[in-house]
Amino acid sequence: MMRKSSILFQIYLVAIFAFIFAPIITSMIFSFNSDRFPTFPLGHFTLHWYETAFARPEVWLAFRNSAVVALAAAFLSTILGFATAYTDFRYGFRFKSAYLALALLPPTIPLVIMGLAMLAWLGRMGLSGTLVGIIIAHTVMGAPFAMAICRLRLQSMDPALEAAAWNLGASQWSAMRHVVLPFCLPALISAYCLTAAVSFDEFIVSWFVSGLNKTVPVMILEILQGNVDPQINAIGTVVFMTSISLVIVAQVMIFKKSSQ
User: Under rule CB under 8 A, which residues in 138-197 are in contact with other proteins?
Assistant: 139-140, 143, 145, 148-149, 152-153, 155-156, 172-173, 186-187, 190, 193-194, 197
Which of 146, 135, 254 has its CA nearest to residue 195? 146
Cis peptide leading into 144, omega within 30 of 0? no
Provide, rounded to whole angstroms, the least separation between the CB of residue 137 and other proteins.
Answer: 7
Residue 93 has φ and ψ, to the nearest 5°, of -155, 170
**Cα–Cα distances in Å, from 235 out to 71, 73, 152, 221?**
19, 22, 34, 12
Provide, rounded to whole angstroms, the least separation between the CB of residue 242 and other proteins.
Answer: 8
Provide, rounded to whole angstroms, the least separation between the CB of residue 59 and other proteins.
Answer: 9
Contact string (CB under 8 A) for other proteins, positions 103-122, x = contact: xxxxxxxxxxxx-xxxxxx-
Provide, rounded to whole angstroms, the least separation between the CB of residue 72 and other proteins.
Answer: 13
Plot region of 202 (φ>0 → left; ψ -120 to 50 → alpha; else → beta)? beta
Q: Which of residues 28-47 bind other proteins (CB under 8 A)?
A: 30, 35-40, 45-47
Contact pick of 18, 102, 161, 164 for other proteins (by CB under 8 A): 102
- What's the longest Cα–Cα distance across the chain? 71
Residue 191 has φ and ψ, to the nearest 5°, of -65, -40
Q: Using the minimum distance from each CB to other proteins, give the nearer residue, 72 or 220.
A: 220
The answer to the question of residue 75 lying near other proteins (CB under 8 A) is: no
The answer to the question of residue 94 lying near other proteins (CB under 8 A) is: no
Contact pick of 17, 161, 174, 182 for other proteins (by CB under 8 A): 17
Provide, rounded to whole angstroms, the least separation between the CB of residue 114 and other proteins.
Answer: 7
Question: What's the rounded Cα separation, in Å, for the pair 48 and 55?
Answer: 10
